[in-house]
Chains A and B, each alone.
Chain A
Amino acid sequence: MDLADAGHGPGRLAARGVSVGYGDRTVIDGLDVTIPSGVVTAIIGPNGCGKSTLLRTLARLLRPSTGTVVLDGEDIGSLKTREVARKLGLLPQAPVAPEGLTVADLVARGRHPHQSWLRQWSSDDAAVVARALAMTGVSDLADRPVDALSGGQRQRVWISMTLAQGTDLLLLDEPTTYLDLAHAIDVLDLVDDLHEAGRTVVMVLHDLNLAARYSDHLVVMRAGAILAQGHPRDVITAELLRDAFGLRARVIPDPVGDRPLIVPIGRTHVVAPSDRDGNSGQDQR
């Protein structure tokens, strides 16, 4: 794979020949992927391509029918649920907290994998929770009920809970869904902070430009298989967007960043449709 030459750490989490499905419908068929350590990986692809299924399989929420997911050299299926929870934090799509639960209490639940019936709360726990609250910038909200917060704040709180789990590996399933652009940027900046602090993050994202901007490693999926992967600069091309999404687009340098910027070309409202790079102009699909 192209991981070694990209300067990433060796992968701690990988899928080997994994097939997953619901009932008799196969969503992912014989997929291989290695999640590079210490960077942000974004999984993108059209609706229903199996992005979330892949993430859930990597997190051990789904059991593959064939193949294995490997975490730190061990088959994740052979590990205890609790051991997995101490190594890997997961934020599922659109989680819901019980009404009236305070932010501090919610984040404190992240300590669960480290607690037992007798040892339900230690001073260690308090310190880790306080740090998780501070890192996600929700300390001031600690005694507010979660349901009274805005969508962006709420997502920060949930990320804070997964942080309190104390794992280096974070899996986020569409962390920006239902958020307006400003809050989405806010949450992704937070993800970048986590990465800077040394964590490995894998997230499923819908927005391609945000994925290109905020990830170091892109995994592009289509129909349950990986179409391309690598640094966004190498991966995002007009051809790929056409192959993966059936989208006509131009890829231009991001005027404010060092990543590619995707400018979609729809059927209407396009004043200058001709693509001077000749990448995608010819077919109308």
Chain B
Amino acid sequence: MSTDVKAKVAPGVRAGRVSFVWRPWLALVTLALAAAAFLVFCLSIGIGDFPIPLPRVIATLLGRGERVDAFVIMDLRLPRALAGLVVGVALGVAGAITQSVARNPLASPDVLGITAGASAVAVFLVTVTGGLAATIAGTVGLSAAALAGGLGTGLLVYFLAWRRGLDGLRLILIGIAVSAVMHAITTWLLVTADIRDVARAQAWLVGSLDGRSWDEVRVALGCSAVLLVVVAAGAFQFRPLHFGDDIAAGLGVRFAWVRAVMLLCAVLLAGAAVSAAGPVPFVALVAPQAAMRLARYPTPPLVASGLVGALLLTGSDVVARTALPVTLPVGVVTAAIGGPFLVYLLVRANLRGR
């Protein structure tokens, strides 16, 4: 009887002092996602006026390519492709954290006001000329200011939602309300601004990877790398939060502290992503949900969510540049691909009867 039961309990893997639960399907899906993301990443590098076939892209990335390829790839195309990868991972992980904290799939950074706040600040800087706006844009730059806007709005939502603890639904409602205010500010700025500035602001608002240079990518890359390390370190203590505060506390987790750190990481990751690519819609919402269903895991898996985000964003960018004669901004495609994909996953689950 006892051995019988033990067989049903997830098996463990041990290597020296390290041990973890062995989940073959989750591991397989994560590996497959990583491989797919890498492939699409290389594909995205190969696309352009000077097409480079996949084997040569990979060879160049490994440092064994020709010098012409190396120049095109390393100097011209890698920043854009890396930006797509980083923005996708950041949005996917940020979404997984916010959805886990709120225990609600609606709670993505888009809903919680982070992207709306970043957008409002960015549009303010683009459309309002002279005075304060010019000073800010001149000293810290558009990206950093947008990041600060996202962070500020995220914190505002968090503190407004706080009432003797954090309730997921309250967080979402406050997020929607604050987002609405931010959208109103953005719209007002766009309506009153000079038409040329409006065009620039609109381009930023759709979310795009066009013309990303190393300078812009480096900031997002560095920030995200540091934040992802913090998230990885906190992931173990974060797990019991899926069961609510009381259970988490009963299991010896200082939930308020863990949650605050992880949420702050999520807000900063989303802010870094928005500052690098603009408010790319839908990735943070759909990536964790897709990862859950692909990995058949009851809660948003952090790594797989990030990889789905990267795959979705990079893939969308490839489609945006190749599908139509005109190059579309990536944000248009993420929504167009992400929406039906989530619907497909949900409908497939219905057909299976679960």
B246 interface residue, CB < 8 Å from A?
A: yes
B351 interface residue, CB < 8 Å from A?
A: no
Measured between beta carbons, the chain B residues less than 8 angstroms from A120 are 19-21, 236
In the complex, the answer to whether A162 meets B250 with C-beta atoms within 8 Å is yes
B12-39 Cβ-contact flags toward A at 8 Å (1 or 0):
1110011111000000000000000000
Docked Cα-Cα span, A75 to B246, in Å, equals 20
Which chain A residues (95-131) contact chain B, with CB distance < 8 Å? 95-101, 104-105, 107-110, 112-113, 115-123, 125-127, 129-131
In the complex, the answer to whether A22 meets B164 with C-beta atoms within 8 Å is yes
A210 interface residue, CB < 8 Å from B?
A: no
Measured between beta carbons, the chain B residues less than 8 angstroms from A81 are 249, 252-254
CB-CB nearest in chain A for B253: A81
Docked Cα-Cα span, A89 to B240, in Å, equals 14
B275-294 Cβ-contact flags toward A at 8 Å (1 or 0):
00000000000000000000
Docked Cα-Cα span, A86 to B292, in Å, equals 31
In the complex, the answer to whether B298 meets A98 with C-beta atoms within 8 Å is yes
In the complex, the answer to whether B243 meets A97 with C-beta atoms within 8 Å is yes
In the complex, the answer to whether B252 meets A86 with C-beta atoms within 8 Å is yes
Min C-beta distance of A55 to chain B, whole Å:
11
Docked Cα-Cα span, A129 to B9, in Å, equals 8
Q: Given that A95-B244, A117-B236, A118-B18 are known contacts, is A112 also in contact with B9, CB under 8 Å in the complex?
A: no
B5 interface residue, CB < 8 Å from A?
A: yes
Q: Interface size (A, Cβ < 8 Å)?
A: 55
A92 interface residue, CB < 8 Å from B?
A: yes
In the complex, the answer to whether A130 meets B251 with C-beta atoms within 8 Å is no
A159 interface residue, CB < 8 Å from B?
A: no
Docked Cα-Cα span, A155 to B14, in Å, equals 32
Measured between beta carbons, the chain A residues less than 8 angstroms from B2 are 130-131, 134
* Residue among B19, B236, B239 having the largest count of chain A Cβ atoms under 10 Å: B19
B242 interface residue, CB < 8 Å from A?
A: yes
In the complex, the answer to whether B6 meets A112 with C-beta atoms within 8 Å is no
In the complex, the answer to whether B252 meets A85 with C-beta atoms within 8 Å is yes
CB-CB nearest in chain A for B234: A117
Partner of B250, one of A23, A91, A105, A115: A91
Measured between beta carbons, the chain B residues less than 8 angstroms from A90 are 246, 249-250
Measured between beta carbons, the chain B residues less than 8 angstroms from A84 are 252
Q: Given that A85-B252, A112-B252, A113-B251 are known contacts, is A130 also in contact with B246, CB under 8 Å in the complex?
A: no
Docked Cα-Cα span, A117 to B13, in Å, equals 14
In the complex, the answer to whether B251 meets A96 with C-beta atoms within 8 Å is no
In the complex, the answer to whether A61 meets B20 with C-beta atoms within 8 Å is no
In the complex, the answer to whether B250 meets A89 with C-beta atoms within 8 Å is yes
In the complex, the answer to whether A139 meets B1 with C-beta atoms within 8 Å is yes
Q: A81-B254, A110-B251, A165-B250 are in contact. List 10 more A-B contacts (CB 8 A).
A: A92-B247, A100-B296, A107-B9, A119-B18, A120-B236, A121-B10, A125-B12, A126-B9, A130-B9, A145-B298
Give chain B's interface residues, CB within 8 Å of chain A. Answer: 1-2, 4-6, 8-14, 17-21, 103, 164, 233, 235-236, 239-240, 242-244, 246-247, 249-254, 296-299, 354
Give chain A's interface residues, CB within 8 Å of chain B. Answer: 22-23, 59-61, 80-86, 89-93, 95-101, 104-105, 107-110, 112-113, 115-123, 125-127, 129-131, 133-134, 139, 142-143, 145, 162, 165
